[in-house]
Structure 1
Amino acid sequence: MNAALRKIGALSIKDAKDLVRNPAIAVCALMPIGFMLLYRYVMFANVPSEAEAEMNSFLIGTAPCFAVGMICAMTILYALSEEKEKHTLRTLMLANVSAGQVMIAKVFVSLAVIVIVDVVCFFVIGVDVSLLAPYIAIAFFGSLSIVLLSLVLGLVSRDMVSSGVYALPIIVLALLPMFSMFGESFETIASYSPCGGMYDLMVMLQEGRLFTSDALVALAVMFGWIAVCAIAFVLVFKKLGKDN
């Protein structure tokens, strides 16, 4: 057990260093913060006071969706396919590191980066600090479905070129809730998307409706997608493991 934890820790440190050293991954991790700064202080700089609550609801819901989409597309999908193409994973396997340990390390680093970026975005938005704890909890669990889906696509992709193709649907799915304002049909589709439950819960948090019956559907959607993506990951992981 201790040996496995040490290996996961070493892999996590390696992944964190790769994130810092790779400019593309580092920029993608900083992009959500940049967009929140753009929205807050440029696009919404002159919003009237009566519309400020609606603006904050949009930003607090958009920030974690943006973060998980951009970060997972690079720190998991791109990084995993790069390691496969450069045979880094094969080298790790020969060094008595299991594939499961590699996956756990990537999930740990990705979630850590997502939470850090989400916290920075929270303070950029400037909402009540008392909302920080539930905000982090919702962002953490709401991000799991996209993290698991990114692992699935990372395992399926053969090289960095194919990962670029798979990265687009990850980003689109994550950002889908942002388009709920375009009409009822868009709102319905967005609410039942992988990040739809998280977005709706964030809006309810800002509006003070999080601990009401209104949140039950959003919670069901969020944890339903986590379960679906977890099953998909287990099936793909087992299949590819046998194929290899």
Structure 2
Amino acid sequence: MNAALRKIGALSVKDAKDIFRNPAIAVCALMPIGFMLLYRFVMFSDMSPEAEPAVDAFLLGTAPCFAVGMICSMTILYALSEEKEKHTLRTLMLANVSGGQVMAAKVIVSLVVIAIVDIVCFVVIGADFSMLAPFIVLTLLGSVSTVLLSLVLGLVSRDVMSSGVFALPIIVLALLPMFSMFGDGFETVASYSPCGGMYDLLGLLYEGRLFTSDAIMPLVVTFAWIVVCALLFVVVFKRMGRDN
């Protein structure tokens, strides 16, 4: 058990260092912060006091969607496919590292990076710090399904080129809740998307209605996506293990 934890820790350190060594991954990890700065101080810099609550609520829900989409598509999907292409994973396997340990390290690193980026975005938005703790809990919970889905796509992608094709659906799914404002149809679809439950829960958090019956459906959607993506990951992981 201790040996397995040490291996996961070493792999996590390696993956974290890879983020800073690879400019493409590092830039994508910082992009959500850049978008929040753009929204807050350029696009909405001259908003009226009456519009400020609506804008803050929108940014509070949008920031984690950006973070999940950009970080998962790069720190997991791109990095995993790059390791497969360079046979890094095969080398790790020969070094007595299991595939589960590799996957666990990538999940840990991606969730840590998502949490850090979300905290910075929270500060940029200027929301009440009393909401920070539940904000982080909800964003991490809402990120799990997209993280697992990114692992699935990373496992099935053959090389970096194919990962670029798979990255687009991840980003689109993550940003889908942003389009809920365009009409009831968009709102319904967005609410049932992988990040839709998280987006709705953050809206309830901002309005002070998180611990009401209105939060039941977004929670059900969030956990349903986690279960579906977890089952899909198990199936794909077992099959890829046999194929290799």
Show CA shifts across 1:15-72 (max 9, x none).
Answer: 0010011000000000000000000000000110011110011000000010010000
Q: 1:64 is matched by which residue type in structure 2?
A: P
Asked whether 1:232 is paired with 2:232, we answer yes
Matches within 5 A, 1:185-200: 185-200=185-200
The residue number in structure 1 matching 2:63 is: 63
The whole-number CA distance in structure 1 between the counterparts of 2:224 and 2:45 is: 37
Matches within 5 A, 1:11-26: 11-26=11-26
TM-score, normalising length: structure 2: 0.99
Show CA shifts across 1:80-129 (max 9, x none).
Answer: 00000000000000000000000000000000000000000001000100
Asked whether 1:50 is paired with 2:39, we answer no
Q: How many residues align?
A: 244
The whole-number CA distance in structure 2 between the counterparts of 1:157 and 1:16 is: 22
The residue number in structure 1 matching 2:108 is: 108
Residue 49 of structure 1 aligns to a residue whose secondary structure is: coil
Q: Percent identity?
A: 77
The whole-number CA distance in structure 2 between the counterparts of 1:32 and 1:225 is: 23
Show CA shifts across 1:151-196 (max 9, x none).
Answer: 0000000000000000000000000000000000000000000000
TM-score, normalising length: structure 1: 0.99
> What's the CA shift for 1:209?
1.0
The residue number in structure 2 matching 1:178 is: 178
The whole-number CA distance in structure 2 between the counterparts of 1:38 and 1:224 is: 33
Matches within 5 A, 1:83-162: 83-162=83-162
Structure 1 unmatched runs, 5+: none
The whole-number CA distance in structure 1 between the counterparts of 2:96 and 2:62 is: 41
Residue 34 of structure 1 aligns to a residue whose secondary structure is: helix
The whole-number CA distance in structure 1 between the counterparts of 2:211 and 2:44 is: 29
The whole-number CA distance in structure 1 between the counterparts of 2:194 and 2:117 is: 19
The whole-number CA distance in structure 2 between the counterparts of 1:170 and 1:55 is: 25
Q: Over aligned residue pairs, what C-alpha RMSD do you find? A: 0.4
The residue number in structure 1 matching 2:220 is: 220
The whole-number CA distance in structure 2 between the counterparts of 1:98 and 1:9 is: 13
The whole-number CA distance in structure 1 between the counterparts of 2:210 and 2:51 is: 20
> What's the CA shift for 1:5?
0.6
Asked whether 1:203 is paired with 2:196, we answer no
Q: 1:159 is matched by which residue type in structure 2?
A: D
Runs of 4+ in 1 over 3 A off after TM superposition: none
> What's the CA shift for 1:243?
1.4
